[in-house]
Amino acid sequence: MTKSMLIDTSKCIGCRACQVACKQWNQLPAEKTVFTGEYENPPHFSPVTWTKISFNEYFEDGRLHWFFTKQGCMHCTDAACMKVCPAGAIYRTEFGTVAVDSNKCIGCNYCVANCTYNVMGFDQVAHVARKCTFCLDRISNGLIPACVKTCPSGALAYGERADMVRKAEQRLFKLQEAGNEGANIYGLDELDGLGVLYILEDRPAKYGLLESPRVSTAAHIWSYIFKPVRVLVVAAMAFALWFNRKESKGEDLSK
């Protein structure tokens, strides 16, 4: 039942309707921004900006080329945020997406610091990490993500991963048949497979995407060595606290 989103950058018109839909559905406030000399706004992800259109400009052959792409949480199979979370607040849903349980989040910021794509935001008021939820509340009820529903150019699609892969391959064939030999699919194998797939007309770097994403060595060490030890330490402390309370009650009763 693994779901995926397919982003066809050859159809993206940079309208940012997906940004607006995300904020509207999730009731996220707008952010104050300033002109930076580029059209991309806001420039960074935050606890209230979970998706944004990346405006990538390149000058080639004396011409300006635009490479638009929607960016947000990639819902990685090999998710660094899940590896480093000491509280078990980040988990894999039944749809294969990655979600944050705000009730378990302890505000340590480990996920924010280790996110491979730097898309996590930290809510300074609630002291919890926030990011794209893949519209878990919508897909759990048979609806498609808000961004997909609102896209006017048909650049976004959602469904079973196998179907999205087939759709991407069919589109890739058409692009290459039309002479775009540089077209490719991004997300099939990166980090053991991303929940968000891309159809690109050029190499990933031109879209602001990592060419060879990987989970940091520090995250792996934390996941396999320190994280299990931390769980044991917390369990030992909890037991010691329980034992002390029991002993204290025993002393009170003896008096």
Based on its alpha-carbon atoms, the radius of gyration of the chain, rounded to whole angstroms, reads 22
Q: Whole-angstrom Cα distance, residue 98 to residue 102? A: 13
Output the pLDDT for position 234.
54
Same domain for 225 and 207: no
Q: Whole-angstrom Cα distance, residue 255 to residue 235? A: 31
Same domain for 38 and 14: yes
Same domain for 225 and 138: no
**Cis peptide bond N-terminal to 47, omega within 30:** no
Query: What does the pLDDT profile of the chain (255 residues) look like in tens digits?
Result: 899 999 999 999 999 999 999 999 999 999 988 888 888 889 899 999 999 999 998 888 888 888 999 999 999 999 999 999 988 999 999 999 999 999 999 999 999 999 999 999 999 999 999 999 999 999 999 999 999 999 999 999 999 999 999 999 999 999 999 999 999 999 999 999 999 999 999 999 999 999 999 998 878 777 776 666 665 655 665 566 666 666 655 544 444
Helix (H) / strand (E) containing 52: strand 52-60
* Segments forming the whole domain that contains residue 132: 1-215
Q: Whole-angstrom Cα distance, residue 100 to residue 31? A: 22
Nearest Cα to Cα of residue 18 among 70, 84, 60: 70
Same domain for 237 and 185: no
| Number of domains the chain contains | 2
Nearest Cα to Cα of residue 97 among 77, 69, 111: 77
Q: Whole-angstrom Cα distance, residue 129 to residue 45? A: 12
Encoded tokens for 212? 């060879």
Encoded tokens for 185? 């699919």
Same domain for 148 and 32: yes
Output the pLDDT for position 220.
77
